[in-house]
Amino acid sequence: MGFFLRKQREEEVKMAGRLPPGQALTQKFPVLHYGAVPTYNNLNNWNFRVFGLVEEERLWNWEQFNQLPRTSATLDIHCVTGWSKFDCPWEGVSVKSLIDAGLIKIKPEAKYVIQHCEFGYTTNTPLEAVLADNFLLATHFEGKPLDPEHGYPLRGLMGAVAGRKDNNDLYLWKGGKWLRGLEFSAQDRPGFWELAGYSNTANVWREERYWHNR
């Protein structure tokens, strides 16, 4: 897409109320993360753990994870660095659907979810954000498995539903790449970027990028 067409599209999503303050439209999918990209020669040893304040800890291997109920969602994504990408088709697993199906049973005192990723990386979200329809345990983007640099084989995906402004519309980093587990917790525990000065709440409409402008 050329510059003028991009600016035209940017104005369209802005007028529709879909472009958060301080953001600009991109047609690309920029790659931003800290550290190395993990390499998986195969997924025979991969697993996904659900633990913490749950009635029963769950551990799924890759084959078992792919047998869980599947969800598709078209979401806008907004990066704290200032770019936004619209109408993005994702596929994966909804945490809420797992709870509704009784596959995860959380305890009443659970208020937060800590996402545990490769290399010890974590990020934290309120429970209601992870249970919302704009959060997905994503395995596919545009009908294809995630690229390694975008979180293959599994990432938390935090997006926004087109035309709806919501308290759970958070910046993209609130979904962790190379996700390996969800910990349900009564206490909030800031993760890597939160401890480095990024906002703990990260609402895109209030432009909560850093700790001093939450």
Q: pLDDT at position 3, please?
A: 64
pLDDT digits (tens, 9 = 90+) for 46-65: 999 999 999 999 999 999 99
Amino acid at 8: Q
Residue 118: is it exposed, middle or buried by C-beta count within 10 angstroms (0-12/13-18/19+)? middle
Does 14 score more than 60 pLDDT? yes
Share of the chain above pLDDT 70, in %: 97
Residue 101 inside a domain? The answer is yes
Q: pLDDT at position 5, please?
A: 78
Report pTM: 0.92
Token representation of residue 74:
């078209």
Sign of the alpha-carbon torsion through 190, 151, 19, 112: negative
Does 213 score more than 60 pLDDT? no
d(Cα 149, Cα 165) in Å, to the nearest integer? 29
Q: What is the mean pLDDT of residues 187-194?
A: 96
Q: pLDDT at position 34, please?
A: 75
Does 8 score more than 80 pLDDT? yes
Q: pLDDT at position 133, please?
A: 95
Domain of 104 in residue numbering reads as 3-29+47-213
Residue 132 inside a domain? The answer is yes
Residue 127 inside a domain? The answer is yes
> Mean of the per-residue pLDDT values for the chain?
93
Ramachandran angles phi, psi of 95, nearest 5° = -65, -40
Does 140 score more than 50 pLDDT? yes
d(Cα 53, Cα 182) in Å, to the nearest integer? 10
Q: pLDDT at position 214, please?
A: 45
Q: pLDDT at position 109, please?
A: 98
pLDDT digits (tens, 9 = 90+) for 90-120: 999 999 999 999 999 999 999 999 999 999 9
Residue 39 inside a domain? The answer is no
State how many domains the chain has. Answer: 1
Q: pLDDT at position 2, please?
A: 61
Q: pLDDT at position 4, please?
A: 60
Alpha-carbon distances of 155 from 13, 49, 132, 176, 188, rounded to whole Å:
26, 13, 16, 6, 20
Q: pLDDT at position 190, please?
A: 96
Residue 37 inside a domain? The answer is no
Q: Tell me the residue length of the chain.
A: 214
Residue 57 inside a domain? The answer is yes
Residue 38 inside a domain? The answer is no
Q: What is the band of 143 on the pLDDT scale with cuts at 50, 70, 90?
A: very high
The enclosing domain of 118 has a CATH number of 3.90.420.10
Q: What is the mean pLDDT of residues 135-163?
A: 96
Residue 54 inside a domain? The answer is yes
